[in-house]
Structure 1
Amino acid sequence: MSAQQGCSIDWKNWQAEIPATLMFIVRDGQVLLIEKLTGIGQGKVNGPGGKIDPGESAEQAVIRECQEELHITPSNPVKMGELHFAMSDIPDIHCHVYMAEEFEGEPTPTREANPLWTKLSEIPFEKMWADDRFWLPQMLDGQKFNGRFEFDLEEIIWQDVQFGEDACALWLGCPLELAK
């Protein structure tokens, strides 16, 4: 089955309206997640992150978002992947996903988020976006990735996730079909 079969999105010409970031800090067999209190994804569990401001790099944005949401500063963030979300009810999102092992500060609740240290074996996928179960475990295991998802409200109606170093070529804008 081809990557495009069953998909209604023209991914070669797709443009996200919202550039965004996510951060997953892993330490001592746990990952730092948040309960999102405001904005897109309110009420869900996710990694800290948010919109990239004009003139800001994805790495600068993910650090700023962690400072705003949890009062922490990640050290040496590593880009692990990208997510492309074609959404039916909110603007489309292109998300840069990072991991880090160290940070400065103490995770603190804010008006935007409550911190949740979670065992890697107990990630609450039932409280997260539907796509997370298709890439987060592999990413936390050190695999780089590139994922594309088409959503109808909160239901995935099409998906394609690629793992490994070949997936990184997609960050440069190559269509999946050409990156293999």
Structure 2
Amino acid sequence: MTLPQVCVSYLIRTGDHGRLQVLLGRKKKGLGLGYFVGLGGKLEQGESPVDAAVREIEEESGLVVAPGDLIPMGYLTYLFPHKEDWSQGSSVFVSREFRGVPCESDELNPEWFDVDALPLDEMWDDAKYWLPGVLSGITVQKTFTFGPDLASVVASS
């Protein structure tokens, strides 16, 4: 089975207080409604993960990232046996280089968080298993299976 392909990007900066911060957005509609998520979404026909990430970052936050500034950090597979059309594969990127000021879109409301104070209890359940590592420079290649509640990780490999 070929899974739908998506991308997710995490923009990182050093905040005014000298702490590392990451841009997340509270999802306003669709899959993940109400959760804080990275910037990203579905790949369009013929689009590479990098091209999709550049497009999605601008659409969702107003920020501009050059394709060469996106650092590939791995690949995640999400399996939802109780709602198979949610299953997907996601390319993960990080970038410290971007232009502009984040602004709210119809998809999400962006907000900076200190990397050492991620809102993991308001994110998809899988994030706690891999996001802190990715933000500290560790690549990831994992598969997460979600349970019947469509929210809890029941297996990972």
TM-score by length of structure 2 reads 0.90
SS of equivalent to 1:94: strand
Moved more, 151-160 or 26-35: 151-160
Distance (whole Å) between structure 1 residues aligned to residue 134 and residue 107 of structure 2: 25
In the alignment, what sits opposite 2:17? none
SS of equivalent to 1:38: coil
In the alignment, what sits opposite 1:133? 128
Distance (whole Å) between structure 2 residues aligned to residue 102 and residue 27 of structure 1: 8
Match status 1:82 vs 2:75 = yes
SS of equivalent to 1:102: coil
Distance (whole Å) between structure 1 residues aligned to residue 154 and residue 108 of structure 2: 29
Once the two structures are TM-superposed, the CA of residue 147 in structure 1 deviates from its matched residue by 0.9
| Structure 1 stretches lacking a partner, 5+ long | 1-13, 161-180
Once the two structures are TM-superposed, the CA of residue 73 in structure 1 deviates from its matched residue by 1.3
Distance (whole Å) between structure 2 residues aligned to residue 56 and residue 15 of structure 1: 16
2:110 equivalent among 115, 130, 138: 115
- Residue identity over aligned pairs, in percent, reads 31
Distance (whole Å) between structure 2 residues aligned to residue 31 and residue 159 of structure 1: 25
In the alignment, what sits opposite 1:26? 12
Paired residue type of 2:7: T
Greater RCO structure (CA 8 Å; 6+ sep): 2
In the alignment, what sits opposite 1:146? 141
Match status 1:156 vs 2:153 = yes
Alignment RMSD (CA, Å)? 1.0
Distance (whole Å) between structure 1 residues aligned to residue 29 and residue 56 of structure 2: 13
In the alignment, what sits opposite 1:52? 43
Deviation digits for residues 80-139 of structure 1, max 9, x if unmatched?
010001112243110000000011121000111101100011100000000001000111
Deviation digits for residues 1-37 of structure 1, max 9, x if unmatched?
xxxxxxxxxxxxx531x21000001110100111111
Deviation digits for residues 55-102 of structure 1, max 9, x if unmatched?
000000011001111111123101101000111224311000000001
In the alignment, what sits opposite 1:8? none
Once the two structures are TM-superposed, the CA of residue 157 in structure 1 deviates from its matched residue by 1.3
| Structure 2 stretches lacking a partner, 5+ long | 15-19
Match status 1:40 vs 2:45 = no
Deviation digits for residues 142-166 of structure 1, max 9, x if unmatched?
0111010111211111101xxxxxx
Q: Based on CA coordinates, which of the two structures has the bigger radius of gyration?
A: 1
Paired residue type of 2:10: F
SS of equivalent to 1:154: coil
TM-score by length of structure 1 reads 0.78
Distance (whole Å) between structure 1 residues aligned to residue 100 and residue 46 of structure 2: 26
How many residue pairs are counted as aligned between the two chains? 146
SS of equivalent to 2:52: helix
In the alignment, what sits opposite 1:124? 119
